[in-house]
Amino acid sequence: MSTLTDPTSTGASPGPAAPTGEVVTLVSRKTPVVLGVLTVGLALILLFQPESGETTLRLARETDFFQLPDLTLPTMPTAWALTIVCALLTGESVRRYLAKKRTPMWLVAIYAIAWMTGFLVWAAVGETLPVVGLLAGSLALAVPLVFGALGGVLGERAGVVNIAIDGQLLFGAFAAAVVSSMTGSPWPGLLAASIAGALVALILGLFAISYFVDQIIVGVVLNVLVIGITSFLFSQVLAPNAADLNTSARFKVVPIPVLGDIPLIGPILFRQTPVVYVLYIAVAVVTFALYRTRWGLRVRAVGEHPMAADTVGIKVNRTRYRTILIAGAVAGLGGAFYTLVSVPQFNREMTGGAGYIALAAVIFGKWDPIRATLAALLFGFASNLQGVLSVIGSPVPSQFMLMLPYVVTIFAVAGLVGRSRPPAADGVPYRPQ
Amino acid sequence: MNDAVTNDQAPAPSEKDADKPDAPEPGKGHSVMRQIVAGDVFAGVLAVVLAVLVGSIMVAATDDAVRESAGYLFARPGDFLSAVWDAVWGAYTALFRGAVYNNLVSDFSTQIRPLTETLKFAAPLIVAGLGVGLGFRAGLFNIGGRGQMLLAGGAAGYVGFNFDLPTFIHLPLAILVGMVVGALWAGIAGLLKARTGAHEVIVTIMLNYVAYYLLFYALSKEGLLQAPGSANPKSLPMKESAVLPDILGDRFNLHLGFVLALVAVAYVWWLLNRSALGYRIRAVGENPNAARSAGIDVGRTWVTVMLLAGALVGLAGVNQVLGTVPDGVTLDLDASIGFDAITVALLGRSRPLGILAAGLLFGAFKAGGFSMQAAEGIPVDIVLVVQSLIVLFIAAPPLVRAIFRLPAKEAK
Amino acid sequence: MKLELRGITKRFGSLVANDRISLTVEPGEIHALLGENGAGKSTLMNVLYGLYRADEGEILLDDEVQHFTGPGDAMAAGIGMVHQHFMLIPVFSVAENVMLGNESTGFAGTLDLDASRARVTEISERFGFHVDPDALVEDLPVGVQQRVEIIKALSRDAELLVFDEPTAVLTPQETDELMEIMRQLREAGKAIVFITHKLREVRAVADKITVIRLGKVVGEAEPTASNAELAAMMVGRPVELVVHKDPPKLGEEVFAVKDLRVVNATGHVQVDGITFSIRAGEVLAVAGVQGNGQTELTEAILGLQEHVTGSVRLDGKELLGRSVRQVLDAGVGFIPEDRQEDGLVGNMTIAENLMLNRSFAPPFVRRGSLQIDKLRAFAEEKLQQYDVRARDIDTACGNLSGGNQQKVVVARELSRDLRLLVAAQPTRGVDVGSIEFIHKQVVATRDSGVPVLVVSTELDEVVALADRIMVLYRGRVVGIVPGDTPREQLGLMMTGERPKDLEGDVA
């Protein structure tokens, strides 16, 4: 059965360095092709659905300390200008391909911003686009995805594929709702979410590590199990006692002094709920721990070559257990977002499969905490975008806007990410003799 | 890589090895009983027992009467135990009555009606399970059942309500169109994996969402799928000529879809066990490198498998739209079958007959779950819990043995 | 440190891998453990290293009984091991690999990489290793990777070092250097266990030799014993060290490779400008240390490599650019170097594996259906003919021993109408009986007028089979020489040195 490694992805045995010592750059034409397709798509939209008017970009909120003025742009010229930028960047990518050079990441990043801005300017014609609100909202919506992705990265770096992220989020949301309803404070709820996530991870570990059950199977089934349990308890226990058990105390927005007043950045990053600040800490700690500490070195060793780790006296399965428990706890924190930030009660299947999106962010982010975080933010942006556009009204049917993040992911996974290398022992159980 | 290391360290004695049979002979001295106890079938039964047991605990723990009697547990433990018994017994008899045989009514056809309901619910689970299982056999993890069902159902529905044709053309055409659309939708994931290495798990998950919104769009646009003059995302009902006919007469809801499911089981069995393509599918699934070295085009096999899998899962969507719920295409036509199919395939160990059995079991759970909810007020979600626990326990026989303190199976 | 093993017994199911083995190794001594593949040497050392638990017997270090629960304990007691398959993490740097499991840390568990770098440099200088502590292990040549393994052991103050088949991946020159290192370590008072099946090396460096066969100690020998004596002890009967073959009956030049260049998926040039040809009825053996482009050469011929330029012609027809299936259909038989990875589907039966490359056309497939009766009859016949020791044709290949697995692969490849046979490492990890059998089959194929390309990293095998020998070094041809070229010259060529008297690429 497939794990997240792809055995046939490379042409041959991955052999070490070139015996000849000579290295040539092999470039794939995927990136220029994808960029080209997207550019043509944007141009076609503009060609067949021209809109006349102006688009206003609002760069501050009323409550902000510094008030940046609104930016009003003529819609079509701006959109066309950005399309041309996209076309030029595509051209550069093609040129590099022909010169046998890779398209660098910064080019793709600039392209993405230009394309997105061009599209938004067109879509929000005659309206005001709240840029700050859009980005701040994106960050908020990305919270469970980032926590989930961090949990995924941790698990997979230790060699355990964590498909149960969705279950961890959902169970976290459930526990957070119940505990914060009972205590009347969000903080115990947050703690409970984390413990709930770890609990799901413990079951994952029991089956995947101790009993060598295929990790993808366990993950998928655990997600179903958690849906079943939480939905069952929801209708049996929570719904009849909603006032006592399912009315959670929510986190409020807490602006950080000084930082929160920086124009543009402040309102986006530092006027958020405490969960978001916990998120910042989590990203930093996970990244540091994974790359700079003894613990991280051992986790990565266990995920790459468990036998080698065993021969230097590292207890492979104990390390894996410990790591996925932490991973589950981190993912569980993300679940708290649903019931402690988003809405003040638990509902059945309220994560809506966000755990799978987080999993996509893990792979998209090449098993690196920072990159996975960025990927998760991208998904958050996409989901917030459709909300904003449906409020201001746009010429595109809302279903297509809703579909956008998923289409982008497919393009990205197929075209831009390229062949990524998961930890070598990802998904492979380790049986000590 | 790890395998190589372990294998190298396991002793591969030379001549000694040559004399002894390679696979360890099942000990002739062992009693028959021991073989049964150590066998997989027995562990499977125990897994089901264990899952049902856990389900019982959940039912009992959340039952009002049980909780009430637990308050004075030490004063009158008998009350508590009988409350537990009532709750659990009530739940499972209701389940049985809803799924197999209803002894509370007098005439025979009403008594066996639950069984036909089970078969009706099992049909889409079986075909979709076959689709997912076929993917597993080729090493592909198709989580895209939902999307494939939605689009296949939508397409079949479009043919079903839009055209006026004689039944013998209309029905096959609608089925075929649905299966083709399901196949193509799944084929995208196969093609992307073969061509770019994009992981099918991610792609199929994403395609689920895309399919959902595509169907949503079509259902909210007149001229595509939306019923004229309606504001709801729902299509017109199917024309009579495109509806899968009932096979046991009007009194039962069981329709031709179940027969199609049986045909699909037979076909997939033949495909996997008797055809050259199935042989290649298995080879690619077990060891893609060896398959490639032996001249089998791994990428093409992946695409083929996804097309076949999509057609089978699509048939499940068709079954819903043209058979079970023929009064119009809706956004929840998949009725979570796309995901249930994964558990069905896992429980059936990706083998056609296993999937048939697993599909029947889950169909029974579904039919019985609804009547349990109606009769006893126990949320149908308990069925989800029991189902997933069965799959988990079945996948880990050593755990089940440990729980029941059975002897471990002879190690290889 | 003195090591004593007393009556070590290790069973796997009904199989006794080590049967009451006793052994004593003194400090300042190189003790060779000699035995053929699967004799139980590695199992014994894994017991010593705490990876396996012995069923009976005890381990004593300086006369004290040890109870190891894992490699950590063994290491703490002063045992270091240089594994046959390096226990290094490819994506880690040398310093990270050396410190793993033994890390010095600063505040809050942060890694002190500088300390590890210093340790690597210090040990590296003491023994003249020239290892860069910041290099990634995956970028290092295997010889250097092995030194990293040694540094890893020494950095933990190992007093007893176990070398498990350390020369399998080394050139003869690197082997000599390793021997020198082992002597140096002996002078430093370390006890050394040297596991090998190569007689020459044992005689060159060992102070004491213990021979193991079928899991038992069959005797001790002095380094002065002859090759034939040692070989007989090792195998349990007199062994023919040479393969009997008649002079080749050479035919047309039917297989020709020209300017072959192979680039792998990451852009590394693996094979650079290889040109050679093989005549009908001739064996061309490719010699060279593992990782010098042999794998890519054979895979490029088969069509398994993506970025290939040049020309590969069989019977005048170009093979490059064709699919694997087309190449196989052109009459190429292929024995891949890693049978479990590329040669067999372990969970399929012997019968099913025998049709792996014939799933498209008769005799085993007709109009899309498997012809199961024909396949079964064929499999029964091959089981007999190739002496595959298995219960029946429905046994899964994964349950067979290495030798029997390889016989299944050979049977499959040789039972088609071949125009060319490519055999990569045909006897790796195979018992002596199967080696003799497979060698006979290769020679028989050549005698039937088929050109044969054999790739082997075992010089013995190259010399035994070759009519001509092509030596590869770093993806290029060092020279093509006659089959009777002295081993010393071949060894020199394997280091990339081109003999002066060799002119052109033709033998």
Q: Are strands A54-58 and A128-130 parallel, antiparallel or unpaired?
A: parallel
In a domain, B144, yes or no: yes
Q: Do C264 and A12 touch (CB under 8 A)?
A: yes
In a domain, B395, yes or no: no
Query: Which residues are within 8 A (CB) of C82 and not within 5 positions of it... i.e. 6 or more apart?
Result: C146, C149, C150, C153, C161, C162, C163, C164, C166
Q: What pLDDT does residue A11 have?
A: 33
Structural contact between residues C463 and C454, judged by C-beta atoms closer than 8 angstroms:
no
In a domain, B89, yes or no: no
Integer-rounded Cα radius of gyration of chain A: 23
Mean pLDDT of A343-362: 88
CA dist., res. C7 & res. C59, Å (int): 9
Please report, as a single letter, which amino acid is at residue A382.
A
* Residue B65 burial (C-beta neighbours within 10 Å; 0-12, 13-18, 19+): middle
Token pair 């080696």 is found at C435
A40-48 CB contacts, 8 Å cutoff, 24+ apart: A42/A83, A42/A86, A42/A115, A42/A118, A42/A119, A43/A83, A43/A87, A45/A119, A45/A122, A46/A76, A46/A79, A46/A80, A46/A83, A46/A122
Query: Which residues are within 8 A (CB) of A7 and not within 5 positions of it... i.e. 6 or more apart?
Result: B288, B289
Nearest Cα residue in chain A from C268: A23
Mean pLDDT of B79-105: 86
Dihedral sign computed on CA atoms, order C201, C204, C207, C213: positive
Alpha helices in C236-331 (DSSP H): 294-302, 324-329
Q: Do B17 and C43 touch (CB under 8 A)?
A: no
Q: Name the A residues in 167-206 with CB < 8 Å from any C CB.
A: none
Nearest to B22 among C338, C347, C404 (CB): C404
Q: What pLDDT does residue B359 have?
A: 95
Q: What pLDDT does residue B60 have?
A: 86
Structural contact between residues A430 and A306, judged by C-beta atoms closer than 8 angstroms:
yes
Query: Which residues are within 8 A (CB) of B47 and not within 5 positions of it... i.e. 6 or more apart?
Result: B390, B393, B394, B397, B400
Helix (H) or strand (E) run with residue C47 in it: helix C41-48
Q: What pLDDT does residue C138 have?
A: 84
Q: What pLDDT does residue A416 have?
A: 60
CA dist., res. B198 & res. A164, Å (int): 21
Q: Residue B280, CB half-sphere, CA atoms under 13 Å: how many?
A: 27
In this structure, what DSSP letter does residue C391 have?
Answer: S
Q: What pLDDT does residue A5 have?
A: 36
Alpha helices in A206-293 (DSSP H): 215-233, 242-245, 265-269, 274-292
Nearest Cα residue in chain C from B274: C370
> Tokens in use for A236?
């049996």
Q: Which of C402, C39, C231, C41 has its CA nearest to residue B13? A: C39
Interface check for C296 against chain B (CB to CB < 8 A): the answer is no
Q: Which of C353, C337, C473 has its CA nearest to residue C415? A: C353
Separation of first and last alpha carbons in chain B:
21
- pLDDT, averaged per 10 consecutive residues of chain C (507 residues), comes to 89 83 91 83 87 88 88 88 88 92 81 90 85 88 86 90 84 82 90 86 88 87 83 76 80 93 84 93 91 90 92 93 93 91 91 92 89 94 90 88 90 93 89 86 94 90 92 91 89 82 52
Task: Answer whether residue A3 shows pLDDT above 70.
Answer: no
Q: What pLDDT does residue B35 have?
A: 44
CA dist., res. C434 & res. C428, Å (int): 10
Q: What is the pLDDT of residues A244-299, one digit of tens each?
A: 888 888 899 888 888 888 877 888 888 889 999 999 999 999 999 999 999 999 99
Query: Domain range spanning residue B336?
Result: 123-365
Dihedral sign computed on CA atoms, order A387, A388, A393, A398: negative
In a domain, B53, yes or no: no
> Tokens in use for C342?
């590329």
Structural contact between residues C164 and C39, judged by C-beta atoms closer than 8 angstroms:
no
B395-400 CB contacts, 8 Å cutoff, 24+ apart: B395/A207, B395/A211, B395/A213, B395/A214, B395/A217, B395/A218, B395/A221, B395/B346, B396/A207, B396/A211, B396/A213, B397/B40, B397/B43, B397/B47, B398/A211, B399/A206, B399/A207, B399/A210, B399/A211, B400/B43, B400/B46, B400/B47, B400/B50
CA dist., res. C469 & res. C471, Å (int): 6
- All residues of chain A having their beta carbon less than 8 Å from the beta carbon of residue B395 are 207, 211, 213-214, 217-218, 221
Residues of chain B in Cβ contact (below 8 Å) with chain C: 3-5, 7-25, 274-277, 279-280, 282-283, 286-287, 289-297, 411-412
Q: Do A298 and C71 touch (CB under 8 A)?
A: no
In a domain, B293, yes or no: yes
Nearest Cα residue in chain A from C91: A304
> Tokens in use for B398?
């050593």
Chains A, B: CB contacts within 8 A come to 164
Q: What is the pLDDT of residues A65-121, one digit of tens each?
A: 677 788 888 888 999 999 999 999 999 989 988 888 878 878 888 888 899 888 888
Q: Do A433 and C152 touch (CB under 8 A)?
A: no
HEC letters along chain B: CHHHHHHHHCCCCCHHHHHCCCCCCCCCCCCHHHHHHHCHHHHHHHHHHHHHHHHHHHHHHCCHHHHHHHHCCCCCHHHHHHHHHHHHHHHHHHHHHHHCCCCCCCCHHHHCHHHHHHHHHHHHHHHHHHHHHHHHHCCCCCCCHHHHHHHHHHHHHHHHHHCCCCHHHHHHHHHHHHHHHHHHHHHHHHHHHHHHCCCHHHHHHHHHHHHHHHHHHHHCCECCCECCCCCCCCCCCCCHHHCCCECCCCCCCCECHHHHHHHHHHHHHHHHHHEHHHHHHHHHHHCHHHHHHCCCCHHHHHHHHHHHHHHHHHHHHHHHHHHHCCCCCCCCCCCCHHHHHHHHHHHCCCCHHHHHHHHHHHHHHHHHHHHHHHHHCCCCHHHHHHHHHHHHHHHCHHHHHHHHCCCCCCCC
Q: Do A305 and C87 touch (CB under 8 A)?
A: yes
- All residues of chain C having their beta carbon less than 8 Å from the beta carbon of residue B293 are 302, 304, 324, 334, 336, 342-343
Interface check for A17 against chain C (CB to CB < 8 A): the answer is yes
Beta strands in C305-437 (DSSP E): 307-314, 317-318, 332-335, 365-366, 369-370, 420-424
Chains A, C: CB contacts within 8 A come to 161
In a domain, B60, yes or no: no
User: Which of the residue ranges B123-132, B402-411, C216-225 would you say has the lowest mean pLDDT?
Assistant: B402-411
Separation of first and last alpha carbons in chain C:
52
Per the structure, the count of domains in chain B is: 1
Q: Which of C150, C86, C160, C140 has its CA nearest to residue C120? A: C150
In a domain, B230, yes or no: yes
Nearest Cα residue in chain B from A359: B202
Structural contact between residues B369 and B98, judged by C-beta atoms closer than 8 angstroms:
yes
Percent of chain A at pLDDT > 70 equals 90
Percent of chain B at pLDDT > 70 equals 89
Interface check for C201 against chain B (CB to CB < 8 A): the answer is no
User: Rounded to a whole number, what is the distance in Å from the CA of C87 to chain B's nearest CA?
Assistant: 10
User: Rounded to a whole number, what is the distance in Å from the CA of B271 to chain C's nearest CA?
Assistant: 9
Q: Which of C199, C462, C168, C179 has its CA nearest to residue C291? A: C168
Q: Which of C341, C302, C328 has its CA nearest to residue C455? A: C302
- β-partners of residue C10 are C18
Q: Within 10 Å of residue A98's Cβ, how many Cβ atoms? A: 11
CA distances from residue A217 to B42, B285, B342 in whole angstroms, order as listed = 21, 16, 9
Q: What pLDDT does residue B289 have?
A: 92
Interface check for A343 against chain B (CB to CB < 8 A): the answer is no
Q: For A38, list phi and psi in degrees, rounded to 5.
A: -65, -40
Mean pLDDT of chain A: 85
Interface check for B289 against chain A (CB to CB < 8 A): the answer is yes
Q: What pLDDT does residue A317 have?
A: 92
Task: Answer whether residue B6 shows pLDDT above 70.
Answer: no
Nearest to B206 among A225, A306, A410 (CB): A410
> Got the DSSP string for C194-238?
EEES-HHHHHHH-SEEEEEETTEEEEEE-TTS-HHHHHHHHHSS-
User: Which of the residue ranges A91-95, B33-37, B154-158, C496-500 would you say has the lowest mean pLDDT?
Assistant: B33-37
Task: Answer whether residue B270 shows pLDDT above 90.
Answer: yes
Interface check for C348 against chain B (CB to CB < 8 A): the answer is yes
Nearest to B15 among C13, C399, C431 (CB): C431
Q: Which of B98, C45, C441, B291 has its CA nearest to residue B299? A: B291
Residue B83 pLDDT grade (very low, low, confident, very high; cuts 50, 70, 90): confident
Q: Do C214 and B289 touch (CB under 8 A)?
A: no
- Interface confidence, given as ipTM, is 0.81
Find chains touching chain C: ≥3 CB pairs under 8 Å. A, B
In a domain, B233, yes or no: yes
Task: Answer whether residue B8 shows pLDDT above 50.
Answer: no
Interface check for C400 against chain B (CB to CB < 8 A): the answer is yes
